[in-house]
Amino acid sequence: MSKVLENVDSRTNLVGQNRLEILTFRLHGRQRFAINVFKIQEVVRLPKITMMPHQHPVIIGATYLRGRALPVFDLSKAIGMRPLKYDENSTIIVTEYNSSIQAFLIGTVDRITNLTWESIMSPPKGAGRNHYLTAITRLDEQIVEIIDVEKVLSEVAPALTEIDLNLLDKNVVDKAVGREILMVDDSPTAIAQVRNTFEALGLKIHEAHDGLSGLRKLQAWADSGIDVSKKLLMLVTDAEMPAMDGYRLTTEIRNDPRLKDLFVVLHTSLSGSFNEAMVKKVGCDAFLSKFKPNDLALLAQERIKQVDGES
């Protein structure tokens, strides 16, 4: 089973081509779910589980794997379905989000599939599991539900959203009031965190929920005669999004003479050195990991200083 992911490192060349690979799996029955391969370290049999004091209800315990202790989430229970039964033959997916590593108990592994982001769609609005979906796609005439793992993790260990006030420069913050930022992300959890951070600085936030919508918003401003690089202090974009990812969005911005001077920040939970390489390749101005409000606040202040010619 570990062979499923043995070539993950070689797949980084998909980034920048508006492509991705997903690992599909089942929890109960025939319904298939998925996670982006870039966030997965390995897929293995469940090692011995140790119960943890006061553990969250969706965590079945901790396991020791490759020299480190990992919490093991019952992914089915975490997204509102019935708990999974497990034994030594059960399967876990080991993932990395924002440099934290955890394991998710699943039912059975399906396969890895190469897709374009154009084939990834936002989930339909409604009740049920949509609350925990970041996107959907279709494989073999069946809907595949792509899980919003950021939301699952935030419910177990809520992300820090408060800024350390000692980091704020009052003179810079005064100049921030009314300045505008475009936030492009398909995760409501991530958007809420960024909004809390930037609104604390007095910044005005525009939103788009995928790269294509973000690009169209920028183009509409430019079509109306607005100098977008002056209108926006910066654009903050996720990497993984339906329709168009953040790498392609940045490439399209750099190829448009009206947008090419826009300050672009890649803001993602994807970990790994390849992200830094891709930032340089597509022309992002900065890279930040998600759910680090102090880093966001510091970057916004530095950007304001740049715009005002103070640095």
Which stretch, 75-79, 120-124, 154-158, has highest mean pLDDT? 75-79
- For the chain, what is the radius of gyration of the CA atoms? 20
Residue 106 near residue 91 (C-beta atoms within 8 A)? yes
Q: What are phi and psi of 257, to 5 degrees?
A: -55, -25
Q: Which residue has the higher pLDDT, 112 or 15?
A: 112
Q: What is the pLDDT of residue 127?
A: 47
Q: Is the pLDDT confidence value at 154 over 50?
A: yes
Q: What is the DSSP string of 66-94?
A: TTEEEEEEEHHHHTTSPPPP--TT-EEEE
pTM of the model: 0.78
Q: What is the pLDDT of residue 126?
A: 63
Tens digits of per-residue pLDDT, 16-29?
677 888 999 999 98
Confidence of residue 107 (pLDDT cuts 50, 70, 90): very high
Residue type, 308: D
d(CA 91, CA 87): 9
Beta carbons within 10 angstroms of residue 138's beta carbon? 12
Q: What is the pLDDT of residue 283?
A: 83
